């Protein structure tokens, strides 16, 4: 097993700051991390200098549809490889492949393809920088027609435990998150079924009242998809799903911090109310991520990207071209301290998936998913499960 010692100026684990750190990597895992001088590099170790850099854990994206011209719903090896490689250049070392609402046949076909890909690659180290696909986030089909955003209306389905079982069976144990609208008849039963299947239940694309959302949280919902977007708007007399999400500490909140989906003041409200432990930055990235402006697919429908903003034919926002390195910079620019902003792309999503010891943290025994940041918080290097570090040209795309 190859041993590598990486020396840098600083590390953020992100719970702790280590000045002049050395990270020892053995195979695909972090073996040790400590201060240079206190932690000797093992004899024969490959030594890598990352002078001037900060080492942080690789980012974990729990809501991403595609990148590099491909959508995860293609379900094909090459498409998934391109998605995983594209986001790795932006520091994302793990992702949860996110479906959009589609026909039962299409959903099952996509989910089966993604599951095969995941199971075939599990426990193998990549040969180039590549994010690990941890599992599948089912965004739909059990969502609100009123708050569907760009999800195709014809494929929206009423909550059905039978349909969920079929999709989960196709996922071969890789289904991790289900985003649903809790106000739909039968939603509470569906939440119970999803929890029994080991899924994190997420409130999203929903027109729920406060009481309906609270009932779902009592039934075990613990997450909310792209908070503020595709949700009933807040009113001080009927606070709706937002009132429930913002005041329930057991619920973590996804945020698309691209500066387009959510206004800065609303982002500040979210940080204040949810605290830095309960905010999870997501990309909601589409196949247009890392690509020039033009025409792309999101799931099964066409979207247009102009100035980096992704919209459908009616002009509705349709996912994003955001990457988590940019989301991190945007949040820091709002005044959030770097260690807190980092938690929102590392430990918070990893813990929500029950992977807090393996992902999103610099600690012995964790996967060697490392990102090297320069002073501007641009990604200059990335190591994925012990492979690399590969150097990345700063701001290699928007
Ligand atoms: Zn969505």
Question: 389 or 124, which is more confident?
Answer: 389
Give the mean pLDDT of 132-143. 98
For residues 64 and 285, give the distance between their C-alpha atoms in angstroms, rounded to a whole number. 5
DSSP 193: H
Ligand 1 centre and the CA of 139: distance in Å? 7
Q: Which positions ≥6 away from 292 have C-beta within 8 Å?
A: none
Q: Average of pLDDT values for 202-225?
A: 98
How many A from CA of 207 to the centre of ligand 1?
A: 13
Give the span between the Cα atoms of 347 and 338, in whole angstroms: 13
Question: Worst-scoring range by mean pLDDT, 87-96, 262-271, 304-313, 348-357?
Answer: 304-313
- The candidate with the shortest Cα–Cα distance to 136, out of 98, 80, 79, is 98
State the distance from the centre of ligand 1 to the C-alpha of 204, rounded, in angstroms: 7
pLDDT digits (tens, 9 = 90+) for 142-154: 999 999 998 999 9
Mean pLDDT of 275-304: 93
Residue 128's pLDDT band (boundaries 50, 70, 90)?
confident
Task: With a cut of 50, say whether residue 397 has pLDDT above it.
Answer: no
CA–CA gap between residue 312 and residue 310 (Å, rounded): 7
The secondary structure of residue 315, as a DSSP letter, is: S
What is the phi/psi pair of residue 145, to 5°? -65, -35
CA–centroid distance, 140 to ligand 1, in Å, is 9
Instruction: Point out the catalytic residue in the list 61, 207, 258, 284.
Output: 284
- How many degrees, rounded to 5, is the angle at CA 291 between CA 132 and CA 141? 60
Ligand 1 center–CA 25 separation, angstroms: 37
- Range with the poorest average pLDDT among 79-83, 93-97, 287-291, 393-397: 393-397
Residue 305 CA to ligand 1 center (angstroms) comes to 17
CB 187 within 8 A of CB 214: no
Ligand 1 geometric centre to CA of 169 (Å):
23
Is the pLDDT score of 1 beyond 90? no
pLDDT of residue 63: 98
Average pLDDT over every residue of 243-250: 98
pLDDT of residue 385: 96
pLDDT tens readout for residues 304-338: 999 999 999 889 999 999 999 999 999 999 999 99
How far does residue 317's CA lie from ligand 1's centre (Å)?
A: 10
pLDDT band at 398 (very low <50, low <70, confident <90, very high): very low
d(CA 64, CA 87): 10
pTM, entire model: 0.97
Mean pLDDT of 150-169: 97
Å from CA of 151 to ligand 1 middle: 8
Average pLDDT over residues 3-15: 97
Asked if residue 174 has a cis previous peptide bond (ω within 30° of 0), the answer is no
DSSP state of 236: S
In this prediction, residue 146 carries a pLDDT of: 96
Note if 284 is an active site residue.
yes
Given the DSSP bridges, would you call strands 17-19 and 46-57 parallel, antiparallel or unpaired? unpaired
Q: What is the pLDDT of residue 152?
A: 92
The predicted structure's pLDDT at residue 396: 52
How far is the centre of ligand 1, averaged over its atoms, from the C-alpha of 98 (Å)?
9
Distance 230 CA to ligand 1 centre (A): 7
pLDDT at site 394:
59
Distances in Å between the Cα of 110 and the Cα atoms of 86, 101, 139, 166, 313 are 20, 11, 13, 13, 24
Percentages helix, strand, coil for the chain (3-state, rounded to 5) are 25, 30, 45
* Ligand 1: centre distance to CA 138 (Å): 10
Whole-number average pLDDT of the chain: 96
Q: For tokens 């027609």, what's the residue?
A: 145
For the ranges 116-125, 140-149, 242-251, which has the lowest average pLDDT? Answer: 116-125
Q: Is the pLDDT of residue 125 over 90?
A: no
Q: Place 395 in a pLDDT band, splitting at 50, 70 and 90.
A: low
């Amino acid at each position: 097993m190859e041993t590598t010692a990486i020396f840098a100026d600083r590390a953020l684990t992100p719970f702790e700051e280590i000045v002049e750190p050395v990270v020892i990597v053995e195979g695909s895992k972090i073996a040790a991390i400590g201060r240079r001088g206190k932690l000797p590099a093992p004899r024969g170790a490959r030594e890598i200098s990352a002078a001037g850099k900060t080492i942080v854990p690789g980012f974990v994206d729990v809501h991403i549809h595609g990148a590099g011209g491909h959508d995860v719903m293609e379900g094909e090896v090459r498409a998934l490889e391109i998605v995983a490689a594209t986001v790795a250049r932006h520091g994302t070392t793990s992702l949860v492949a996110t479906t959009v609402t589609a026909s039962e046949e299409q959903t099952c076909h996509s989910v089966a393809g993604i599951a095969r890909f995941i199971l075939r690659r599990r426990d193998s180290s990549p040969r180039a920088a590549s994010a690990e696909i941890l599992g599948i986030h089912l965004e739909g089909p059990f969502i609100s027609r009123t708050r569907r955003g760009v999800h195709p209306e014809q494929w929206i389905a009423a909550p059905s435990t039978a349909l969920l079982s079929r999709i989960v069976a196709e996922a071969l144990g890789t289904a991790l998150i289900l985003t649903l609208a809790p106000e739909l008849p039968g939603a509470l039963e569906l939440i119970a079924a999803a929890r029994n299947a080991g899924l994190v239940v997420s409130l999203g694309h929903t027109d729920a009242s406060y009481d309906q959302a609270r009932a779902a949280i009592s039934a075990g919902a613990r997450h909310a998809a792209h908070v503020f977007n595709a949700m009933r708007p807040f009113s001080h007399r009927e606070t709706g799903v937002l009132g429930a999400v913002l005041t329930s500490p057991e619920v973590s909140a996804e945020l698309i911090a691209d500066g387009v989906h959510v206004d800065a003041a609303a982002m500040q409200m979210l940080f204040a109310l949810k605290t830095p432990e309960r905010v999870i930055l997501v990309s909601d990235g589409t196949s247009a991520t890392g690509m020039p402006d033009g025409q792309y697919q999101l799931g099964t429908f066409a979207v247009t990207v102009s100035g980096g903003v992704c919209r459908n034919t009616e002009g509705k926002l349709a996912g994003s071209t955001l990457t988590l390195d940019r989301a991190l910079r945007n949040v820091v620019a709002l005044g959030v301290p770097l260690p807190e902003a980092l938690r929102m792309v590392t430990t918070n999503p990893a813990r929500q998936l029950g992977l807090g010891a393996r992902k999103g943290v610099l600690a012995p025994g964790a996967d060697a998913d490392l990102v090297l940041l320069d002073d501007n918080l641009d990604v200059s290097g990335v190591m994925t499960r012990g492979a690399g570090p590969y150097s990345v040209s700063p701001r290699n795309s928007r």
